[in-house]
Structures are given as C-alpha cells and as structure tokens.
Amino acid sequence: MTDKTIETPAPVQPKRKKFLTVADVERQVWEMEGIRIVLRLPEYILPALNNNGGYDYVRATNHTATLGDLQRRLERGVFGHPVEFTVVRGDYKVINVTAKRPSSTLLSSIRKTYAS
C-alpha cells in the first residue's frame, strides 16, 4: 500500500466590504455636485452610512436646487439621520447648514465660485 495524502485546498477568504468613510461621501458629493462640503456627524450615524452605497446618485441636482435640497438628499438617501455640514466656496467663504438653519443658497451659485 502506498501512502496517499489528500491535499485540501486552502479556504477561500471572503472579500472584505470596503467601509465608507465620511471623506468618501464628501468626495462623492464633490464629484457629483461640484460642491465642497465638510460633514459633521455623530458616531452613531456611521453604521447607517455603511448600509448603503454612499452618495451614489446618477445625476447632479438641477440648477434650481438649494443647499437645503442637498441636505435633504443626504439625510434621506445616504444617512437616514439629520446631518449638518459646512460648504467651502471657491472664494474660501463658508456656509454652515444645520437642521435648524437649512440654507436657501442655490447650488449653481456656489458652483460658480470655483470657476472664478
């Protein structure tokens, strides 16, 4: 009798899901909307962020959209919680958007500040 050993294949390692970070969402908003934002989020929102694809919209908002519209898009489509953020305009001025103070500033007017 010959000694035959059966080789078992190495276990296949499952692919790790890439966890989204706040910086990922900020970058996605910049790429889609052409607006620089800095999100301010409590820790408990981060798990909600990783249950979806982030800011994965196919089209940018229309030319009449406001920062309040962007805030609602982030709250409903990305985080599922109220969010606050700061917009950094092209001229380095900032606009703070909070739950108590949603802004009616047009996104199109902010986009123009980056071209100047």
Tell me: the pLDDT tens digits for 54-108? 777 878 888 899 999 999 888 888 888 888 999 999 999 999 998 787 788 999 9
Whether 4 has a pLDDT exceeding 60, the answer reads yes
DSSP for the chain? -----PPPPPPPPPPPPPPP-HHHHHHHHHHHH--EEEEE--GGGHHHHTTS-SS--SSPPPTT-BHHHHHHHHIIIIISS--EEEEE-TTS-EEEE-SSS----BHHHHHHHHH-
- The model scores a pTM over 0.85: no
Q: How confident is the model at residue 112 (pLDDT cuts 50, 70, 90)?
A: very high
Give percent above pLDDT 90 in the chain: 40
